[in-house]
Structure formats: structure tokens, C-alpha cells
Amino acid sequence: MEHIYNFSAGPAVLPREVLQQARDEMLDWHGSGMSVMEMSHRGKEFMSIAAKTEADLRELAAIPDDYKVLFLSGGASSQFAMVPMNLLRGKKSANYVNTGEWSRKAIKEAKNYCAVNVAASSEDANFTYVPAQDTWKIDPDAAYLHYTPNETIGGVEFNWIPEASRLNADMPLVADMSSSFMSRPMDVSRFGLIYAGAQKNVGPAGLCIVIVQEDLVGTTLPGTPTMFDYKIHVDNDSMYNTPPTYSMYITGLTLEWIKGKGGLEAMEKINAAKADLLYTFLDSTDFYHCPVATPDRSRMNVPFTLKDPALDEEFLKQARARGLIQLKGHRSVGGMRASIYNAMPPEGIKVLVDFMKEFANTHA
Ligand SMILES: *Cc1c(COP(=O)(O)O)cnc(C)c1O
């Protein structure tokens, strides 16, 4: 099979070494005679996998002891409801920052449970920038402040952490970190709750990782389903029901891989260099265009358009022939999108840029 570079936004590329190890352990995990898929989630083998995955995550992200880590199913999208159900704690409203499609979905879902104050929005410019914090209109009586550090579809990323507590000491910051999780160091103590679907940067679909400050857990809206109550999952170490065991295992292998690369500081350096290579090229030509404001460009998802959209199909076809796949942009934005998560090797960006140069030269 020819070598391919997969630029999918998610489910996305995983480290080759991780997939090779999973292959080697597929039929017989560590002499157990079983595949991880066949193990009881309460057996000692899987319990050891779960414990190591959590320990590695805590170590890599320097998660403080008063934070709980949960491994849940239902994807990041379930958190759009679970967050208000658990974090309103008697309050009637929540602050949301609207920077794109994923923010919008979170807002829409939250409106089923509370009043939503949209503290800031970049909808006026088709979600191509991050609104500066001094323009935000925060409701000080709201329960929390929710934002999306990296908008996967628009390719807009916060390079700073909002300061909710400066405006109200009792306002936890909530982040949908799905597409930038573990791509750079994060100061967990600045957040009340972080959630991330695994399938962008750390593992297969089906798993959502939640990191929550323990004092925030325990008060739910009346009628909250058992499975949507953080306290249930905290009290049962994410084993109230069957968690997505195989996804947890692959995530564990990916975290080990990140450790082997030198941890989150090292990942950040690699990711910054990859993104820089691509953006520097995009800015050097008027054949391609990236619509996102320069300081807010995502290191994970790089949207770009061709000068002549009539060439889109030909671009994708020739890219595919070179082994550069899944570059088609999201239908709401058009053009192209290169998702360059942790597991995309720097070589993949070089091959992409070389191809883009050549395509521009032959079609200018
Ligand atoms: C992919 C994504 C989601 C949705 O994740 P699911 O696991 O499909 O529910 C939510 N937020 C962001 C930022 C995403 O990138």
C-alpha cells in the first residue's frame, strides 16, 4: 500500500507506532490470551489499562489533585447538555462565547436548560477571529463561562486563556477542548471543567474525556438522567456502566507516545513548527488564501481556499493521487481544510506544501 497522509478533521490520523502496537497486541494483550476488546471492564487487566491511562494523562497535563478525570461515552456533543445540567447549580443563566460552529451547537443545547448570555461573538465576520476579551459582556450572575479554544471547522484558535475569575470569582471557565486537547501545555487550574472528544487528537471516536474540579460536581438539574450526572461517574470511577474500553486503551497508547516525544511542551514545539510551515507558505502566494485573522489561526485545523474555486475538484483529485487525502473543507466554509493534529508527521506538511506549490505553478 502506498503511503498516505490523512488530513481528516476527525476521526483523524493516529500515530503509526500506536496502531502497530495495537496490532501486535490485538489477539493477546500482555499474555492475557484476550484482546482488550474482549476484557471485562471490571477485570484486573482492563482496570490496569484504565489506571495507567488516567495516570499518564494526569502526569502529561499536570492535572491538580482536586480535579477528577472521567472517561465517558456520548462524544463531546453530550457535554453540550451535561455541562448545564451539572454546572448551573441553582443559577439561571450561563455565559457563552460564540466563535464558530461548535460554539453555536453548545449554545443551542444550553438554551434547553438555561438563559444563555452570548458574551462575545465573531459571527459578524463569519467566525474568522477571536473577539478580544475587553469587548466581552459577561453576566456576573451566570453560572459559568463556556468557550471553544479551537474551532475545528473555522480553524480559529485562542492563543490565550480567558480570565473569567477576574470578573467574578465564582465563575468557572468551561472549555470544549476537543480539537486542541494535548496539543500544547494547558494550565488546568485555570479551568472549572475541560472536555474533549478523543477522536481529534488522542484516540478513536466514542470516548469523551472530562476533567472537572471536584467542588463543581454534585448538584444537578431536577430530572437529569443518571448517565448525565457527573457525580455518578465520579463515584464509580467512570465504571457506572461499560465505558468505551477499546477507545480508552488506544488513548492510553497515544498518551504513552506523547510522553515518548517529550510531553506537551515538545508536542507544542512540533505543532507550532508544522503550522508555521503551512501558514508561511499560504501567506507567500495569492493563489491560496486563509480567511482567519493571523493571531487567531489554529495550529490544528488550517482552512484555505483556492483563488479559483473551479479548480477545487482538480486540486483534490491531484492531491489524492499524491497520497494527500481528506483535504476537502467543511461544507459550511468550502475550499480546503488541512487538519494537522499531533499525529500528523512534519513530513506530511512538507509533502503538502510541495504539492500546493506545484499545483499553483501549473494552474496560475
Ligand atoms: C468534533 C468536535 C465536537 C463533537 O464531537 P463528537 O464526539 O462527535 O460529539 C465538539 N466540539 C468540537 C470542538 C469538535 O471538534
| Domain end point (choices 235, 259, 283) | 259
Residue of 29, 102, 136, 257 with catalytic role: 102
Mean pLDDT of 211-215: 97
Q: What is the pLDDT of residue 17?
A: 97
Q: What is the pLDDT of residue 66?
A: 98
102 as an active site residue: the answer is yes
Residue of 56, 139, 176, 296 with catalytic role: 176
- Helix, strand, coil share (%) of the chain residues, nearest 5: 40, 15, 40
3-state SS assignment for residue 175: strand
Residue of 56, 139, 200, 229 with catalytic role: 200
Same domain for 255 and 269: no
Q: Of 12-26, 127-141, 163-177, 178-192, which gets the smallest average pLDDT?
A: 163-177
Q: Which of 82, 152, 210 to mutate to test the pocket of ligand 1 (most atoms within 8 A of CB)?
A: 152
Same domain for 341 and 210: no
Q: Which of 73, 102, 207, 208 to mutate to test the pocket of ligand 1 (most atoms within 8 A of CB)?
A: 102
> Residue 152: which residues within 8 A CB-CB, separation 6 or more?
9, 10, 101, 102, 178, 179, 200, 300, 301, 339
CATH number at residue 350: 3.90.1150.10
Q: What is the pLDDT of residue 166?
A: 62
Same domain for 313 and 236: no
Nearest CA to ligand 1 atom 5: 76
Q: How far apart are CA 49 and CA 41, in angstroms?
A: 10
Longest dimension (CA), the chain: 63
Same domain for 29 and 162: yes
Same domain for 231 and 339: no
Total domains, the chain? 2
CATH number at residue 25: 3.40.640.10
**24 Cα to the center of ligand 1, angstroms:** 30
Q: How far apart are CA 262 and CA 270, in angstroms?
A: 11
Same domain for 174 and 29: yes
- Does residue 26 lie within any of the structural domains? yes
Q: What is the pLDDT of residue 268?
A: 98
Residue 168 has pLDDT above 60, yes or no: no
Q: Which of 101, 103, 176 to mutate to test the pocket of ligand 1 (most atoms within 8 A of CB)?
A: 176
Q: How far apart are CA 287 and CA 235, in angstroms?
A: 55
Q: How far apart are CA 141 and CA 25, in angstroms?
A: 52
First-to-last alpha carbon distance for the chain, in angstroms, is: 33
Nearest CA to ligand 1 atom 14: 178
Q: Of 5-19, 151-165, 199-213, 219-233, which gets the smallest average pLDDT?
A: 151-165
Q: How far apart are CA 195 and CA 72, in angstroms?
A: 10
> How many CB atoms are closer than 10 A to CB 317?
9
- Does residue 215 lie within any of the structural domains? yes
Residue 244 has pLDDT above 70, yes or no: yes
- Does residue 2 lie within any of the structural domains? no
Mean pLDDT of 164-174: 73
Same domain for 251 and 290: no
136 as an active site residue: the answer is no
- Does residue 1 lie within any of the structural domains? no
- Does residue 324 lie within any of the structural domains? yes
Task: Spell 122-142 as b/e; 16+ CB within 10 A means b.
Answer: beeeebbbbbebeebebbeeb
Mean pLDDT of 160-189: 88
Q: What is the pLDDT of residue 364?
A: 83
Same domain for 150 and 56: yes
- Does residue 169 lie within any of the structural domains? yes
Residue 348 has pLDDT above 90, yes or no: yes
Give me the helices (H) in the chain, please: 16-24, 44-61, 75-87, 101-110, 164-167, 230-235, 245-261, 263-283, 312-321, 346-363
Task: Spell 332-362 as b/e; 16+ CB within 10 A means b.
Answer: ebebbbbbbbbbbbeebbebbbebbeebbee
The number of the ligand 1 atom at minimal distance from the alpha carbon of 78 is 9
What Å distances lie between residue 103 and 123, 153, 354, CA to CA? 11, 11, 34
User: Could you report the per-residue pLDDT of 23-64, keeping only the tens digit for each?
Assistant: 999 999 999 999 999 999 999 999 999 999 999 999 999 999
Same domain for 303 and 177: no
Range of the domain at 83: 17-259
**75 Cα to the center of ligand 1, angstroms:** 7
| Domain end point (choices 211, 236, 259) | 259
**189 Cα to the center of ligand 1, angstroms:** 23
Grid look-up 471543567 returns: 193
Residue 1 has pLDDT above 60, yes or no: no
Mean pLDDT of 332-361: 96
Nearest CA to ligand 1 atom 10: 76
- Does residue 166 lie within any of the structural domains? yes
Q: What is the pLDDT of residue 197?
A: 98
> Residue 134: which residues within 8 A CB-CB, separation 6 or more?
none
Same domain for 277 and 254: no
Residue 285 has pLDDT above 70, yes or no: yes
| Domain end point (choices 216, 243, 259) | 259
- Does residue 108 lie within any of the structural domains? yes
Same domain for 190 and 266: no
Q: What is the pLDDT of residue 109?
A: 98
Same domain for 269 and 190: no
